[in-house]
Each structure stands twice: as structure tokens, then as C-alpha cells.
């Protein structure tokens, strides 16, 4: 079974003039607070912001949850649908109803 890791990506736009380029990952952080702090720092957006304008952390910092596999066999034996079924089976009917899931 893979381990799911959670981290935060800080992105920048590849078009520093109009902001019409692709968003690329510049750095990854364990803590959301650290990613936001860098995004809000003038040293960062002054260099990487579109025309040196300040970035909005709501747009440039995103949470990522990704499976980390220990082996090739681990990867090929992983079934995301089966993981979801096991997770749903742990919920009570009241919890399913609160989440708007079918009973």
C-alpha cells in the first residue's frame, strides 16, 4: 500500500509580462504557512510576479495529496477505487447522510 503524502506547491506564471503563460511549480513545502510566507514576500513576487506584481497565495499555493509507492509491484497492485470503497465502508449511515452520500 502506498503512503499518501501531503505538501504545498508554490507556483509562478511562465509569462512574466502578461501572465498568459503556464503555471509552473517553483517549490514544494511541508507547511502551508511557509508556502504562503514565501508567496507574500516581496523578494519572491518582485522577481517571479507578473511584471513584478504581488501574487495572491489563494491562486499560487495549492495543496497536493499524492501516493508514494515503495515498489513497482506496489504501484501495479494499487486500486484507487478499492481504497475509496474501504474508506466509505468505515462511515456510518449518519455520516454518509451528513456528507450527502447515498446510503
Q: Tens digit of pLDDT for each residue in 19-65? A: 888 989 999 999 999 999 999 999 998 888 888 788 889 889 999 99
Q: What angle do CA 97, 85, 82 make, to 5 degrees?
A: 165
* Res 90 pLDDT > 80: yes
Asked, for residue 69, whether it belongs to a domain, the answer is: yes
CB 30 within 8 A of CB 39: no
The enclosing H or E element of 96 equals helix 93-98
Q: Say what the alpha-carbon torsion angle 6, 8, 14, 20 is, to the nearest 10 degrees.
A: 90
The enclosing H or E element of 62 equals strand 61-68
Asked, for residue 103, whether it belongs to a domain, the answer is: no
Instruction: Give Cα 49 to chain centroid, integer Å.
Output: 20
In terms of pTM, does the model score above 0.85?
no
The number of domains in the chain is 1
Q: Show the domain range for 13.
A: 3-98
Asked, for residue 11, whether it belongs to a domain, the answer is: yes
Amino acid at each position: 500500500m502506498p503512503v499518501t503524502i501531503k505538501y504545498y506547491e508554490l507556483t509562478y506564471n511562465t509569462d512574466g509580462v502578461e501572465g498568459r503563460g503556464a503555471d509552473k511549480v517553483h517549490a514544494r513545502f511541508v507547511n502551508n504557512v511557509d508556502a504562503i510566507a514565501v508567496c507574500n514576500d516581496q523578494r519572491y513576487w518582485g522577481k517571479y510576479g507578473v511584471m513584478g506584481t504581488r501574487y495572491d497565495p489563494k491562486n499560487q499555493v495549492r495543496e497536493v495529496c499524492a501516493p508514494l509507492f515503495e515498489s513497482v509491484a506496489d504501484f501495479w497492485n494499487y486500486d484507487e477505487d478499492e481504497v475509496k470503497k474501504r474508506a466509505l465502508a468505515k462511515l456510518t449511515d449518519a455520516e454518509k447522510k451528513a456528507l450527502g452520500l447515498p446510503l
